[in-house]
Amino acid sequence: MKRILNLTVTASLVIAFGVIAKAQSGGNVLIKNATVMTAAKGTLENTDILVTNGKIAKIGKNIAAPANAKVIDATGKYVSPGIIDAHSHSMLDAINEGSLAVTSMVRTRDVIDPKDVAIYRALAGGVTSALLLHGSANPIGGQSTTVKFKWGRPADEFPIEGAPPGIKFALGENVKRSNFTPQAGQTPRYPRTRMGTMEVLRDAFRRAKDYKQSLDDFKAGKTKVPPRRDLELEPLVEVLEGKRLVHCHGYRSDEHLNLMLLADEFGFRIATLQHALEAYKIAPEVAKRGTGASIFADSWSYKLEAYDSIPYNGYILWKNGVLVSINSDSDERMRRLNLDAAKMEKYGGVPEEEALKMITLNPAKQLGIDKRTGSIEQGKDGDILIWNVHPFSPYSHVEMTLIEGDVYFDRAKDIANREVLAKEREALEKLDMNKAPGAGGTPPRIPAERRIADRDEADRGDNR
């Protein structure tokens, strides 16, 4: 019973808080006397950060507070850049368009839900930006969206202006539909093998080239009827032209290598290998192409095609000069990416700042948003976390999360607000429309403990 009561309170507080935290864009704030982990230029003791109109204006000691700035005393506290999750399916009302092998026409931007409570929970764990990816049901999935978690703001304020567009590719078990039995009367979707997957990719890029040719022919007056604008091939033309980043899900390194060879053939670069749990086997090949790796800190051997993954994957990749980031692919794990970064220090000994970069500056570079965010440097966005202790400590928690100088999570306010929300819930539950029916009624919802938190294998037949 107590457990249920706790659940009630926690659930309600996180759902409601955003309404109270009224954010404006471009805040003015002075953070005083913190230990600042810049993720670029080392750690600075007893340092102040001034954010003006959302941008970091000054980093130094004893900065005087401008009249309009909110002053936060961070004495004894740690400050880091906001965490960036380079693989997320949060705030998406649908993750997979798995009906076809190529669904480059679909856009995650069309289905973002700015009220997904996972956003608020992510803010409480220090995540300020994320790459919202299509699922891994097909070789070429949909277009991604790079967002800042501006909880409480309307949907159109989430996508980061100027972030390069992206697209999800996928290889391996999910694409082959190895773990999915077709429903009665359904033909299994092609491809069913890894070689079929490569064929689908090659075919798609050949079609994209033909499409580009047909557009050029029309422009040159060689044809009379304007070609059909093809939303499936348009983004692939952008990939060929280097205007759209490819983020490719895969576990086995032979497949990832094959993909990079295909990209060589068509003359483009893969932006990131996603998951890449055994990419240590091909680390020099990855580094040579300037391709990034976005990995899990653990999940070693969690399924067959992840069998060869090892704890030292991240370290070996980093040692070989690969741009490494650590992602969550999960609403739940997203909340403690700081501890995943700490694991890089433990297994192999990645230096502290390099480990911190793996959840901040490196993903920012992989997503092409490092001019704006990812480290605490003058001129960048004020995407800043204040921690109670060192973020790699298991006792750490985020005290405050700022995006562009505006506070989007404040632990103290959150705690104070729980009682208010509990009261609101109590009042709402008394209303007629919220009362359980006297008799009968539908079965209740499944308790949270039994729900699936990990959305990696998101195509479980539902859209959530």
* Interacting residue with another protein among 121, 421, 455, 456 (CB under 8 A): 421
- 81 touches another protein by CB under 8 A: no
CB of 115 to another protein, least distance (A): 7
Binding flags for another protein, 141-180, as an x/- string (CB under 8 A) = -x-----------xx-------------------------
Sign of CA dihedral 400, 406, 412, 415: negative
d(CA 73, CA 52): 17
* Interacting residue with another protein among 108, 136, 338, 360 (CB under 8 A): 108
Binding window for another protein (CB under 8 A); candidates: 73-81, 163-171, 310-318, 429-437: 429-437
Q: Return the residues of window 4-33 that contact another protein according to CB under 8 A.
A: 4, 7-8, 11-12, 15-16
Which residue has 């939303």 as its token pair?
231
d(CA 71, CA 68): 9
- 446 touches another protein by CB under 8 A: yes
- 394 touches another protein by CB under 8 A: no
What lies within 8 Å, CB to CB, of 33 at 6+ separation is 46, 47, 48, 73, 74, 75
- 464 touches another protein by CB under 8 A: yes
- 63 touches another protein by CB under 8 A: no
- 436 touches another protein by CB under 8 A: yes
CB of 183 to another protein, least distance (A): 6
- 226 touches another protein by CB under 8 A: yes
Q: Which helix (H) or strand (E) holds 85?
A: strand 83-88
Cβ–Cβ contacts within 10 Å for residue 225, how many? 6
* Interacting residue with another protein among 80, 96, 274, 294 (CB under 8 A): 96
- 62 touches another protein by CB under 8 A: no
* Interacting residue with another protein among 98, 250, 292, 374 (CB under 8 A): 98
Which residue has 């070996």 as its token pair?
316
Beta-bridge partners for 170: 249
Q: Are 362 and 351 in contact (CB under 8 A)?
A: no
Nearer to another protein, 44 or 201 (CB): 201
Q: Return the residues of window 198-217 that contact another protein according to CB under 8 A.
A: 200, 203-204, 207
Q: Are 352 and 344 in contact (CB under 8 A)?
A: no
- 99 touches another protein by CB under 8 A: yes
CA distances to 38, 170, 193, 362 from 357, rounded to whole Å, are 9, 25, 36, 5
Three-state SS sequence of 388-405: CCCCCCCCCCEEEEEECC
